[in-house]
Homo-oligomer: A and B are copies of this chain.
Amino acid sequence: MRAYPECIPCLVKQGLNAAEKLNLPKEKLYEVAKAGVRYLAQFEEFDRSPAYYAYHIQKFVKELTGVEDPFREIKRISNLKAEEILNKLNVEEYLKGDRLRRALKLSAIGNILDFAILSEEEAYGKILQLLEKDFAIDHSEWFERELETSERVLILGDNAGEIVFDKVLVKVLKELGKEVVYAVKGAPILNDATLEDAKMVSLTSLCRVITNGNDRVGTDLSVASEEFLNEWQRADLVVSKGQANFESLSGIGDKVIYFLLTAKCRPVVLESGASKVGDLIFKRNKPLEGGN
């Protein structure tokens, strides 16, 4: 999707939010905001995805901290908290009846929570509450149908913490006999999961984990590694997690992609066809032929 006008101030704000999480002093926050407006001021057209611009703005945060992985500690805490919460949840009980759809929902809910900010108790409470919620866009029947004739599923991961809940989805897909490959970022960007996170939460012992070979926000195929593009080609189905991946891949039509996310702003609500911010979405990139 193309950036909306309202994405422009939001992108600057995102840079500031990141800087605030890292406790940068006020003078550094001014620098981040200035770098943001100066970067955006150069464009005549905003025809790229919000994730594309977000990547460049987040680079200023890296530069200003002088640290290659400023979110490392935040990611570690998120993983730990999410693991605790997953252990506390009675997952097998929850999955009963409709294992695949429920695993998908748990994965989408993982996308809504900021594990670094919420206490374990708060996050746990929110999850129980959100599990009651239905997908606002639910293409899980199409997904199940296509899965029957599919062998390889590529999951595009999003954040640390969230990655823990994706393990349930990986397990359920594997029970169905699918070969699952999970892709993380090739280098640190924001709080996105990297190989380090995949190892930390033992995702690597569940399925093959690859990286996309770069540190972009979302998934930009034009800068992806050969290994990633190879898996992308081979996959029968792609499950794309989170808003940034949706932003960068929603325009792709020559691959079957199911977007699994929580809509966090009005532009994504509009582009996805959801009805409001906070909606859980499981949406095929285009209608399934012969599906209804």
The chain A residues found within 8 Å of chain B, CB to CB, are 4-6, 8-13, 16, 26, 29-30, 32-34, 36-38, 40-41, 43-44, 46
Q: Are B12 and A16 in contact (CB under 8 A)?
A: no
Q: Looking at the complex, which one of B6, B33, B44 makes contact with A16 (CB distance below 8 Å)?
A: B6
Q: Looking at the complex, which one of B5, B34, B41 makes contact with A38 (CB distance below 8 Å)?
A: B41
- Which B residues are CB-close (under 8 A) to A33? 5-6, 8-9
CB nearest neighbor in B for A8: B33
Q: Are B5 and A26 in contact (CB under 8 A)?
A: yes
Closest 10 A-B residue pairs measured CB to CB?
Answer: A5-B29, A9-B12, A41-B41, A8-B33, A9-B13, A9-B9, A37-B37, A38-B41, A37-B40, A37-B41
- Which B residues are CB-close (under 8 A) to A41? 34, 37-38, 40-41
- Which B residues are CB-close (under 8 A) to A11? 9
**With contacts A5-B32, A6-B13 known, what are 14 further pairs, Cβ within 8 A?**
A5-B29, A5-B33, A8-B12, A8-B30, A8-B34, A8-B36, A8-B37, A9-B10, A9-B11, A9-B36, A12-B37, A30-B46, A37-B38, A37-B40
The answer for the CA separation of A29 and B4 in the assembled complex, in Å, is: 9
Q: Are A30 and B5 in contact (CB under 8 A)?
A: yes
- Which B residues are CB-close (under 8 A) to A38? 37, 41
Say how far A165's CB is from chain B's closest CB, in angstroms.
31
- Which B residues are CB-close (under 8 A) to A37? 8-9, 12, 37-38, 40-41
CB nearest neighbor in B for A38: B41
Q: Are A34 and B29 in contact (CB under 8 A)?
A: no
- Which B residues are CB-close (under 8 A) to A36? 8-9
Say how far A282's CB is from chain B's closest CB, in angstroms.
28
- Which B residues are CB-close (under 8 A) to A5? 16, 26, 29-30, 32-33
- Which B residues are CB-close (under 8 A) to A12? 8-9, 12, 37
- Which B residues are CB-close (under 8 A) to A43? 34
27 pairs of residues in contact across A and B, judged by CB atoms under 8 Å: A4-B26, A5-B16, A5-B29, A5-B33, A6-B13, A6-B16, A6-B29, A6-B33, A8-B12, A8-B30, A8-B36, A8-B37, A9-B9, A9-B11, A9-B12, A9-B16, A9-B33, A9-B36, A9-B37, A12-B12, A13-B13, A34-B40, A34-B41, A34-B43, A34-B44, A37-B38, A37-B41
The answer for the CA separation of A43 and B41 in the assembled complex, in Å, is: 12
CB nearest neighbor in B for A24: B5
- Which B residues are CB-close (under 8 A) to A29? 5-6
